[in-house]
């Protein structure tokens, strides 16, 4: 195909898209690009190819991308096609004689409400009972509503903690999936239905009907069952809370009030939803600087605990006072929070009706410390692929987490990570510790005394060319390192063809002679290669255990960085 042919084809795709786009903003944007191409602008032509040479893939994470015109962006055309495709899938899989249903939620990002309204109207027009949540709400409320309303499916319009210009489309399934996110083969089947819609009908021609609006009682029910996560308040905790410009505050404040906790001090500049995310470069509590305002408020209030939700409140970050930290507070890692909440859940389970039954679950890149807790309490342990679509499906689940600030403390209520209930559970733990004359820092030391010290670190290698990640993974597979940081490699598990009960995944698991572990995988949402390092120690005093685990992680971290640098450099 000549360059002229390629230009003609991409222009034709763009014109066809323009003809069905109901959004004046993206229509104007795309028309400007088309006009620039007509004027010979090579950059505009490259932009047009980037927008239309491929399609934003629908997978187990649904859809997620930058808001703009084009098949490779998030916009009303793409969302309309997704809604019609999902409606077709639900219709085809509905029991004979039954009418499928879907509940749809949305957060405070740009176009979230518009995308949700479009989806509800199009799915109602396709004969689906479409129920729209009454206002912008956290993702966990939508995940709860799928089960509470016994819906066939759920859709949450959110890009979670992605950059401000992104949005996304997350899909849950009811019935035998119990409100968990979609997994294979449902993702591929829905994607095929979406492609069928895209190739046969204009979004403007899709029939629409008025959807239902969920009653306020759905939100009230979530607040009630979530408040039950807390134990009776024994001591109030001086707390600072930030919603990170997201939708968590209204729901979280109602939950803690129901549970009997005092209202926290809030980061005023970040407490209300704001799609521009003006105070953070990247609205993710894990990112450097994202919690600076919360820590400043904590210093001013002499807070004992800092609680942060990400913008759709499905993730939780915790900060505690630390005299060694530059600003007097440090954010706990996702592993630290997960292990403390897992310990709390196992301890509660031990006092239940069936103390030796139940499963603790975490992703394969999360801390092995959860397995130690399971062994201690005689519980089952499940290691899953990354993502709560897998964790939430662990049989007999009591508690699940992933190191990326995702925690599931109430699996009978929500089958997804839930930053609201996890925040309440952690606040309740802090309250109990305070009543007993302790705190989170000393509780972490007690964990090391009881289960051993577990340390971890993470390396992210950001690339501009995704082929660089594939080359690095291929290099590590074809020529596995014999040592990392001077520690001999014992064996390497390649999970690309599956491993044990794990389905295939582009992951390498490296075991070192000292029992340490290195996990290497491409990010599922960003152009990054991610490396997870874990080490532990059960020898000596608590101080010695912690020091030994930290030292091992530091050594392996330095070794992995050197290895990745060497493998990334072009050969002579």
438 has catalytic annotation: no
Q: Classify residue 135 by burial, with Cβ atoms within 10 Å: 0-12, 13-18, 19+.
A: middle
160, 333, 367, 421: the active-site residue:
160
Which of helix, strand or coil describes residue 512? strand
Chain-centroid distance of CA 42 in Å reads: 37
- Helix and strand totals (H; E) in the chain: 17, 22
Rg (C-alpha) for the chain, rounded Å, is: 24
Return the H-helix or E-strand segment holding 30. Answer: helix 24-38
* Cβ pair 27, 69 in contact under 8 A: yes
Which of helix, strand or coil describes residue 135? coil
Q: Are strands 397-402 and 508-512 parallel, antiparallel or unpaired?
A: unpaired
Q: Which residues pair with 212 in a beta bridge?
A: 131
Q: End-to-end CA distance of the chain, in Å?
A: 34
* Cβ pair 389, 180 in contact under 8 A: yes
Phi, psi of 536 (to 5 degrees): -145, 165
Phi, psi of 149 (to 5 degrees): -95, 0
Q: Which residues pair with 407 in a beta bridge?
A: 401
Distance (Å, whole) CA 519 – CA 535: 12
* Cβ pair 141, 135 in contact under 8 A: no
Distances, alpha carbon 325 to alpha carbons 287, 320, 321, in Å: 16, 10, 8
Phi, psi of 238 (to 5 degrees): -75, 105
What b/e sequence results for 59-68 when a residue is b if at least 16 CB atoms lie within 10 Å of its CB, and e otherwise? Answer: bbbbbbbbbb
Q: What is the largest CA-CA distance in the chain?
A: 76
Distance (Å, whole) CA 427 – CA 230: 8
Chain-centroid distance of CA 545 in Å reads: 31
Q: Are strands 359-363 and 380-384 parallel, antiparallel or unpaired?
A: parallel
Distance (Å, whole) CA 556 – CA 558: 5
Q: Which residues pair with 330 in a beta bridge?
A: 320
If you write DSSP's letter for every residue of 138-198 in order, what string do you get? -HHHHHHHHHHTT-SEEEEE--TTS-TTEEEEEEEE-GGGTTEEP-TTHHHHHHHHHHHHH
Omega within 30 of 0 (cis) for the link into 185? yes
Distance (Å, whole) CA 338 – CA 315: 12
- CB under 8 A, 24+ apart: contacts of 407-413: 407/316, 407/337, 407/338, 407/341, 409/229, 409/341, 409/345, 410/225, 410/226, 410/229, 413/144, 413/147, 413/222, 413/225, 413/226
* Cβ pair 285, 219 in contact under 8 A: no
Which active-site residues does the annotation give? 160
């Amino acid at each position: 195909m000549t360059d002229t042919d390629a230009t003609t084809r991409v222009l034709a795709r763009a014109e066809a898209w323009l003809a069905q786009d109901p959004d004046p903003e993206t229509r104007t944007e795309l028309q400007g690009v088309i006009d620039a191409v007509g004027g010979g602008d090579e950059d505009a032509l490259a932009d047009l190819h980037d927008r239309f040479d491929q399609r934003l893939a629908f997978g187990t994470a649904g859809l997620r991308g930058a808001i703009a015109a084009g098949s490779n962006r998030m916009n009303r055309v793409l969302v309309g096609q997704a809604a019609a495709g999902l409606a077709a899938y639900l219709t085809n899989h509905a029991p004979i004689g039954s009418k499928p249903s879907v509940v749809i939620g949305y957060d405070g990002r740009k176009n979230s409400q518009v995308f949700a309204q479009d989806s509800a109207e199009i799915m109602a027009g396709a004969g689906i009972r479409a129920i729209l949540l009454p206002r912008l709400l956290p993702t966990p409320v939508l995940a709860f509503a799928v089960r509470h309303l016994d819906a066939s499916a759920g859709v949450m319009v959110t890009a979670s903690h992605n950059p401000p210009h992104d949005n996304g489309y997350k899909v849950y399934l009811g019935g035998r999936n119990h409100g968990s996110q979609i997994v294979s083969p449902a993702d591929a089947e829905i994607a095929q239905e979406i492609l069928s819609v895209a190739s046969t009908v204009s979004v403007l021609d899709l029939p629409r009907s008025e959807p239902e609006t969920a009653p306020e009682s759905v939100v009230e029910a979530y607040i009630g069952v979530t408040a039950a996560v807390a134990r009776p308040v024994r001591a109030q905790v001086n707390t600072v809370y930030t919603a990170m410009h997201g939708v968590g505050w209204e729901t979280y404040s109602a939950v803690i009030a129901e549970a009997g906790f005092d209202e926290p001090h809030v980061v005023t500049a970040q407490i209300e939803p704001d799609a521009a995310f003006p105070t953070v470069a990247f609205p993710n509590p894990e990112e450097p600087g994202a919690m600076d305002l919360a820590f400043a408020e904590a210093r001013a209030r002499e807070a004992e605990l800092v609680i942060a939700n990400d913008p759709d409140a499905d993730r939780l970050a915790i900060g505690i006072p630390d005299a060694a930290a530059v600003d007097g507070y440090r954010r706990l890692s996702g592993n630290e929070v997960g292990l403390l909440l897992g310990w709390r859940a196992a301890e509660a389970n031990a006092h239940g009706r069936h103390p030796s039954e139940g499963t603790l679950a975490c992703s394969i890149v999360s801390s092995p410390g959860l397995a130690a807790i399971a062994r201690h309490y005689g519980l089952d342990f499940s290691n899953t692929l990354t993502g709560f679509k897998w964790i939430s499906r662990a049989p007999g689940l009591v508690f699940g987490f992933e190191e990326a600030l995702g925690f599931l403390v109430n699996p009978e209520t929500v089958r997804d990570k839930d930053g609201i209930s996890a925040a309440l559970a952690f606040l309740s733990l802090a309250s109990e510790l305070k009543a007993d004359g302790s705190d989170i820092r000393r509780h972490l030391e007690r964990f090391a005394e009881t289960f051993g010290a577990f340390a971890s670190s993470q390396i992210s290698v950001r690339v501009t060319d995704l082929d660089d990640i594939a080359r690095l993974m291929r290099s590590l597979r074809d020529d596995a390192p014999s040592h990392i940081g001077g520690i001999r490699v014992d064996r390497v598990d390649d999970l690309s063809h599956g491993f044990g009960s794990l389905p295939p995944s582009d992951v390498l698991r490296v075991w070192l002679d000292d029992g340490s572990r290195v996990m290497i995988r491409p990010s599922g949402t960003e152009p990054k290669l991610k490396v997870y390092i874990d080490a532990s120690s059960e020898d000596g005093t608590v101080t010695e255990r912690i020091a030994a685990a930290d030292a091992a992680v530091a050594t392996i971290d330095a070794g992995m960085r050197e290895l990745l640098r060497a493998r990334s450099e072009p050969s002579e």
